[in-house]
Structures are given as C-alpha cells and as structure tokens.
Amino acid sequence: MTLRVLSYNVRALRDDPAAVRRVIAACRPDVVCLQEAPRFLGWRRRRRALARGCGLVPAVNRRPGGLAVLHRPGIRVLHAEHRLLRRHPRLHRRALSLAVLDVGGRPLLVGCTHLDLDDRARQQHAAEVLALFTAAAARHSAPGVLAGDINCTPQGPAWRLLAAELCDTGAARPRGEPLTFPARHPRARIDGVFATRGLTVTGAGVPVGLVPAADLAAASDHRPVLAEIDPPR
C-alpha cells in the first residue's frame, strides 16, 4: 500500500473553506499536515469541521504555531507531541508537530512545521526542526516524513539544510507541478515534503491532475503538495 501524505497551508480557512475540503478530499490522503490551521476565535470548531468534512481525525491538533496532523480512520497513533521552537521577539511563534503512526504494523514518524518569513529565524528554526525530528525518529526507531511551508525556495539556506539530511521528495520523484505559491499564479516552490533516506518515494508535487484548477486557486494562497511514499518495511 502506498502512503499518501498531503502538506497544505490553508491560510486559516480565510479564503474558501469548502474549496479546501474539496482539495483535500480529491487527494485521498492517508495523512494531512496543515499549516496555518485556524488558531483564533472558534479555532477548535473550525478545525473539527474541516477534519469531519474530509473524513479525517486529528493526531496532533494544537493551537500554538497553527499546525495540525490529521489521518484517515484506521491508522493508529502511537505517540504525539507538539514542540514550540525558539522564540524570536516580534515574530510569530513557530512549532513542530510530531506523530508516530502505525502504518501496516510498522511505526512512521510524521512531522509538520511552518518556518518564518524572517531569514535568520527561518534558518535557526530549520536547524531546530531537523534536530527534533531526527531525535524523535531515533527514539521511536521509525523512518519519517517531514512536511511544511518552508517559506523559501530550494535554493534558500533553510531548504538546503533540510535537503542535506532528508530526501526532498518533489525533487527526487517529481509528479504534477512543482510550484506552490501564490496559488493563483504560482511562481515559487516554498512548500515541501521531505523523507528519511530509508523510505521509497514514488511521486510528489502539486496534484493538478486530481484537483480542479478553480479549487486550487480559490482554497488558499498556497497550493498543496502530495507525496506518495512506500510504507516502512
């Protein structure tokens, strides 16, 4: 069974929540890593409605950092945690959500993060995320998938740092289209899914063949990244 992991910055559902649900449903994901999940007034209700509307359940669903990890029913959560990253004055608080899932009887670590627009904070947080993710993978003896809005292109230092240790799935096995931002007229690839070297990637990219272009443009200012990965053996 191929595992379908979707990474998606949904801009706090400020655009078209119904289109967000349609985009996610069309991708038929096993795991969804959300960035900019709602975190202000009514955030719990709005997140529950999104998960229910997509037929998913939360593994990690914390307010700080605006992150959530959702999964399809039938996947068992072995461990979940939410780690706040180093605080930078006057900048948004950033975080890393981690879930260890039972996939076919084997553990798989899933990480979700959203790095900063500020260059210095982004580079520091990328190093912190990589250290926490690597430590969790070792602690749980699990290969891992890290998804997020990196807020820089593959030429940026933060992306290069992650890609030096993890497989950039979109570069290794491109599928669909690469550019993720802005959704209406995409010019840059700033969202990605990374995997530990022991996992086999079969394809990754913006799933333009699965989702109507109108929904991709209406749902959020980012386009999602769908990665298909062979489960751990």
What does the pLDDT look like over 87-114, one tens digit per residue?
A: 999 999 999 999 999 998 999 999 999 9
Q: How confident is the model at residue 200 (pLDDT cuts 50, 70, 90)?
A: very high
CA gap 63, 66 in Å, rounded: 5
- What pLDDT, in 10s, does the model give residues 45-83? 999 999 999 999 999 999 999 999 999 999 999 999 999
Under the banding of pLDDT at 50, 70 and 90, the label for residue 198 is confident
Confidence of residue 132 (pLDDT cuts 50, 70, 90): very high
pLDDT greater than 90 at residue 231: no
pLDDT of residue 162: 98
pLDDT at 130 over 90: yes
- Could you state, in order of their start, the residue ranges of all structural domains in the chain? 3-230
Q: Give residue 19's pLDDT.
A: 98
Mean pLDDT over 200-207 rounds to 98
Residue 1 has pLDDT above 80, yes or no: no
pLDDT at residue number 193: 98
pLDDT-above-70 percentage for the chain? 100
Share of the chain above pLDDT 90, in %: 96
The pLDDT, as a whole number, for residue 34 is 98
* 145 has a pLDDT exceeding 90: yes
- Mean residue pLDDT of the chain comes to 97
pTM listed for this prediction: 0.97
At the topology level of CATH, where does 3-230 sit? Deoxyribonuclease I; Chain A (3.60.10)
pLDDT at 137: 98
Q: Does residue 156 carry a pLDDT above 90?
A: yes
pLDDT (mean) for 133-156: 98
